[in-house]
Chain A
Amino acid sequence: MSSPLYVKEGKAINQAKGSLLIAKGIPGVQYGEIVDVKLTNGEIRQGQAIDVSKDAIVVQVFGGVSEVDLAGCSVRYKGETLKLPVSIDILGRIFNGMGKPIDGGPEVVAEDYLNVNGEPINPAARMPPAEFIETGISSIDGLNALVRGQKLPIFSGSGLPHNQITAQILKQAAVRGASEKFVIVFGAIGVSYNDADFFIKNLGETGAMARAVAFINTASDPVIERISTPKLALTAAEYLAWNHGMHTLVILTDMTNYCEALRELSAMRDEIPSRRGYPGYMYTDLAGIYERAGRISGREGSVTIMPILTMPDDDITHPIPDLTGYITEGQIVVSRELQRKGIYPPIDVFLSLSRMMKEGIGENKTREDHNNVFMQLYAAYAEGSYLREISTIIGAEALSDRDKIYLSAADRFESEFLLQGEDERRTVEETLDIGWKLFADLPEEDLKLIREEYIKKYLPKYKDEKKV
């Protein structure tokens, strides 16, 4: 831990350029350690040693080298990399992007100091995520189910209601059959004050703040802290999950700001850029964050991550959503088109995907027919959407009667299955039954993806027969 005995101070600074200071080498300085840069006027800026050699130390100064003079400025090396002080008392608290309390409360009395980068989970120690989380939202529970230990991002665009969807999930999410609630770890990265406030208020109103920890870096805070904020949030989540057996749900918003910060710092270091100026290691860097989700066999607790990112220009092939999609276990995509139609939540069924879904659904988990209903709904909606596209060219009149049934099924799917209120919590049974209600209109022989026994059991006409 930091102790004044180990603090070293160097005055010999040879170069200042961009955001970099090149100082004379001092023995004992660690690669990656956090340093204080003291300016002549007394101002202290933080920095990081990004290249350490016997002759020279390159320090990246957060906030730039403006006003640095080579003669009067000094660098203090504290001999530590960024660590988060943790104890169970972090629950209910709000911190900034360096882990300092900003809720007016006292500093946390630390039980331990944890390296914010964490350590990779031994793949052989992981347990595959399989416990269904009921969010109460049909388009998620029915078609893109979330499970404990998964990392499922929300891909959105500016002006879309991702915050409302997230708030609804935070409010409603529960594991079926389990009474314990999630602990919410909230990381706000470079967001506007309003957005941060929206979530904090929301947590406060629902009484969830006592079981939540928040790390807030607003747009006006230092860029470097955007890099550390998600890491602090995950370190806190891991501590609560693995040391205290809690089930944590980590919300990170907005990861696009994180990636922008990464690009900014990389450019300052004169690194060779990869696609669209983002550094070549962005995949690895993001993986270091998202891969901290999971379950460990033999341990209570879990880390589930829901990062939110806004796709620049709604482009899913942009490097940020693209690399994220390669790491996360699926994605929930918010659609501008559905939003325009007035559908809430406007979740794009075709682009959204949950890779862990099949593990979490079915008999004893949700309901036996879940997977079949999902496949059939999906196929029917895909067919209806395709016909809708064709009918814009050739006119609906040119379609056959069968096609018209599918066309109207697609409309009803949107207005009955997808559409729901911000406060409406549907159980998974309710969600699946809406599906069956839609199937009632389709030709029965078209229900190829559903097992016959389920058709006999759940299709309204047989179900009602039974009742009689």
Chain B
Amino acid sequence: MGKIWRITGPVIVAEGMRGSQVNEVVEIGSEGLVGEIISLDSDRAVIQAHEDTLGLQAGEEVRGTGSILTAELGPGIVGAIYDGLQKSLTALMANGDVFLRRGVKSFALPRDKKWQFTPTVKVGDKVSEGTIIGTVPETGLIVHKIMIPQGISGTIKKISEGQFTVVEPVALVEQDGETKEIIMMQKWPIKKPRPYKKRLPTTRLLVTGMRILDYMFPLALGGKAAIPGGFGTGKTVTQQQLVRWSQTQINIYVGCGERGNEMADVLYSFKELKDPNSGRLLAEKEVFLANTSNMPVVAREASIFVGITLAEYFRDMGYDVLLVADSTSRWAEAMREIGGRLEEMPGEEGFPAYMGSRLSSFYERAGQVECIGSPDRMGSVTIVGAVSPPGADFSEPVTQNTLRIVDALYALDTSLANKRHFPAISWLQSYSLYVDSVKEWWSKIAPDWAEIRASALRILQLEAELEEIVRLVGPEALPERDKLTLMVARMLREDFLMQSAYHPVDTYTTPQRAQLMVKTIMRFNTLAQQLIESGGTINELRQSPIVPRISRMKDIPNEDFEQRVKELTNDMETGLIPQKGGVR
């Protein structure tokens, strides 16, 4: 046990700390504030406090806990709301803690709740690290798989079915003549990646229901993507859409240094939203980490790593997990603040020089893997990180460091947002390196996906070029052919890429439906081109009854969609302009 020697903001120097280890968690002062040792110098330790240090005095006690910062893993995670250090905010709420007093404690996993454990191995079976020994129905959507923790392998000596808490033994394993108790809870150091057998290529599409992602800039399961955008460009709504509708088994939402009211909005909406496949509440597959911007700064870093550790743990069960972090810039700012207090030599814009490697140590934990232990299974962790560049200027260090690591960029554009084009993802700036790897996946749904996608993007690209000309000569001066390009580009933008998060049908689009939508617009393009070549005009086309039908395509309920689009296509083939009859 040591004593405080110096306090300066969140950095504390304690003396009498001989015997402590670097990264050990300590409790400070009479309130027991949580801190972490970041360096040791003979008997002095430099500690970063994860809570507000106002009012502490020199000479107060510092107690080591003997362990480094870990996450608690086991039944009880799904549906939970945690703070950055994995304190259960719901448990605190139940205690009447409406405000977060510092030093307040709560377990991540409830210690008194009993779970129904069903063994999947029997006495005499050989088990090793990662082997699944039983299951617990955690929620209506998630079966929690209990795995043998690190460092244990041997023979099952005893295993019981029944109701257990996370700290009661469910099995006994004999290892080298020693008997070890297995409980359902494991602890894992948050900064250490969990092991796997083998990394696998990322070839499956992460279906998000967002057309611009799935169709134009696909993300693969196990991939990593960044969403940078200035304020008001819809980062948060985009990320919320991802955790709502992504076709993954577990979604983890890390609110890192962001707004409390928005967090409340997310939490409330999940109390009602249902999973379209099972009809169960979506909250049954979500985990929330809420470290809002007014909560302790230092815990922002922890929140990101706790989130990824939870994600890897579910990956190890063989699940596809999506982790969404909003926003990594706030985390980087926390690094800068701590670095400044430690008087480290600053790098670009005051950020510490190690920011890039910290960011990659997070993003590199994404991936599709073959899990360790038996039975053989595959799991994935996909990471989507929001970045909040100051002044929406992407040349700043956090965005640039992030772009070096991620394989997909969804660039949010302030001018699109000002036009209320949502999601404000720029089709000119965004990219995805997964286009080739998910081609095969797409080809099973739409063999012509790659070509249609490319030609749609080409029209949008052409529009950007024509816009420059329009600014000089006006839209009326363009040849009819170019006017048509502008018209079709507008259709692609407004009737396909624009998607309302709040419309019950439009909020989620299946890949099949997205394919039909683009195909219809592109077919319109072909027919309209023929019409114009045979002397038709844009003004005639604008009057076409087909045009408003295309624009209302978004709102058609899923069950009628195929039929109605078929009718639309048929009518289109018979003639875009009724009085002119079919195109010959």
Interface set, chain B 12-69, CB cutoff 8 A to A: 13, 52-59
Chain A contacts for B101, CB-based, 8 A: 119
Interface set, chain B 82-103, CB cutoff 8 A to A: 83, 89-90, 92-93, 97-102
Chain B contacts for A342, CB-based, 8 A: none
Separation in Å of the A73 CB from the closest CB of chain B? 22
A319-B390, A330-B232 given; A123·B292 CB < 8 A? yes
The segment out of B141-149, B163-171, B259-267, B447-455 that lies at the interface is B259-267
Q: Is the C-beta of B285 less than 8 angstroms from some C-beta in chain A?
A: no
Majority secondary structure of chain B interface residues (helix, strand, loop or mixed): mixed
Chain B residue at smallest Cβ distance from A56:
B6
Chain B contacts for A30, CB-based, 8 A: 54-57
Q: Is the C-beta of B420 less than 8 angstroms from some C-beta in chain A?
A: yes
Interface string of A393-428 (1 = CB under 8 A from B): 110001110010000000000000000000000000
Chain A contacts for B418, CB-based, 8 A: 350-351
Q: Is the C-beta of A50 less than 8 angstroms from some C-beta in chain B?
A: yes
A54-B58, A122-B98 given; A280·B92 CB < 8 A? no
User: Are A27 and B349 within 8 A (Cβ)?
Assistant: no
User: Are A123 and B471 within 8 A (Cβ)?
Assistant: no
The residue from B54, B58, B392 contacting A81, defined by CB atoms under 8 A apart = B54
User: Are A398 and B477 within 8 A (Cβ)?
Assistant: yes
Chain A contacts for B102, CB-based, 8 A: 119
Interface set, chain B 526-553, CB cutoff 8 A to A: 548, 551-552
User: Are B391 and A329 within 8 A (Cβ)?
Assistant: no
A31-B54, A120-B294 given; A127·B264 CB < 8 A? yes
The residue from B99, B475, B476 contacting A122, defined by CB atoms under 8 A apart = B99
Separation in Å of the A116 CB from the closest CB of chain B? 10
Separation in Å of the B134 CB from the closest CB of chain A? 30
Q: Is the C-beta of A164 less than 8 angstroms from some C-beta in chain B?
A: no
A54-B59, A122-B97, A327-B293 given; A128·B265 CB < 8 A? yes
Q: Is the C-beta of B5 less than 8 angstroms from some C-beta in chain A?
A: yes
Q: Is the C-beta of A124 less than 8 angstroms from some C-beta in chain B?
A: yes
Chain A contacts for B57, CB-based, 8 A: 27-31, 52
User: Are A445 and B92 within 8 A (Cβ)?
Assistant: no
The segment out of A38-46, A186-194, A352-360, A429-437 that lies at the interface is A352-360
Q: Is the C-beta of A317 less than 8 angstroms from some C-beta in chain B?
A: yes
User: Are B264 and A126 within 8 A (Cβ)?
Assistant: yes
A52-B58, A379-B420, A399-B474 given; A120·B295 CB < 8 A? yes
Q: Beyond A52-B56, A124-B92, list 12 extra A-B contacts (CB 8 Å).
A: A31-B7, A31-B55, A53-B5, A54-B6, A122-B89, A123-B263, A123-B292, A124-B89, A124-B93, A126-B263, A280-B333, A398-B476
Task: Pick the 10 closest A-B CB pairs, nearest first.
Answer: A53-B6, A287-B293, A317-B391, A126-B264, A291-B294, A325-B231, A394-B474, A123-B290, A119-B99, A124-B89
Q: List 14 A-B contacts (CB under 8 A).
A: A31-B55, A117-B52, A120-B294, A121-B260, A124-B290, A125-B99, A280-B340, A284-B257, A323-B390, A326-B231, A327-B259, A355-B262, A390-B471, A403-B475
Interfacial residues, chain B to chain A (CB-CB below 8 A): 5-8, 13, 52-59, 81, 83, 89-90, 92-93, 97-102, 230-232, 255, 257, 259-265, 267-268, 290, 292-295, 297, 330, 333-334, 336-337, 340, 346, 349-350, 388, 390-393, 418-420, 470-477, 502, 548, 551-552
